[in-house]
Amino acid sequence: MGRFREMAADDSSDVGVDISPLIDCVFILLIFFIVTTTFVEETGVEVDKPQAASSVQLEKTSILLALTDKGEVIYGGREIGFSGIRQLVKRTLQKEDVPVIIQVDAAADSGLLVRVIDEAQLGGATKVSLATRKPQS
């Protein structure tokens, strides 16, 4: 009986699960997902986009402007006005050639939309698109 107790005591001291490889794997996965995640930059204002049957998905990297129903031009959550569009487009296009996407509210004045498009083109944009939503089918 004495030998049995000694063997049982030795076995219990060696029992244990080494979780350090599991922690390593979790951290490697976490780093992988952080590095590969692409962040979509929003304009910072909600606009009621018009519907279009020809809507297509555009590139993720772009200059995203918003034109509200009150006539405000928004970029990155702050109002830049019509005078800020040209400088913004010039500065961004110096780093990388990206399209300009305008999220225009359905109730916005069309004359203001033409002015935003014109300012973007004067800033050097060669591709200016309008953001729409697909109609519900």
Q: What is the dihedral of CA 33, 38, 41, 47, to 10 degrees?
A: -90
pLDDT digits (tens, 9 = 90+) for 61-114: 788 898 988 888 988 888 898 889 999 999 988 988 888 988 888 888 889 999
User: pTM of the prediction?
Assistant: 0.60
Q: Is residue 6 part of a domain?
A: yes
The CA distances from residue 19 to 16, 22, 23, 120, 135, in Å, are 9, 5, 6, 56, 51
**71 and 28 belong to one structural domain:** no
Q: Does residue 41 sit within a domain?
A: no
24 and 71 within one domain: no
In a domain, 100, yes or no: yes
| Three-state DSSP state, 132 | coil
- Cβ-contact 65, 77 below 8 angstroms: no
CA distance 49 to 61: 20
Residue 42 belongs to some domain of the structure: no
The string of pLDDT tens digits covering residues 111-127 is 999 999 999 999 998 88
Tell me how crowded residue 54 is: count the other CB atoms within 10 A of its CB: 6
pLDDT for 19: 87
Q: Does residue 70 contact residue 105 with C-beta atoms inside 8 Å?
A: no
Residue 106 pLDDT: 83
Q: What is the mean pLDDT of residues 38-48?
A: 63
Domain that holds residue 21: 2-36
Decide if 51 is inside a domain. no
* pLDDT range class, residue 12, cuts 50, 70, 90: low
CATH of the domain at 122: 3.30.420.270
| Phi, psi of 72, deg, nearest 5 | -90, 140
Q: Is 101:131 a contact under the CB 8 Å cutoff? A: yes
Residue 79 sits in the same domain as residue 25: no
Q: According to the model, what pLDDT value does residue 133 have?
A: 74
Percent of the residues in the chain that have a pLDDT greater than 90, as a whole number: 18
Distance CA 18, CA 59 (A): 46
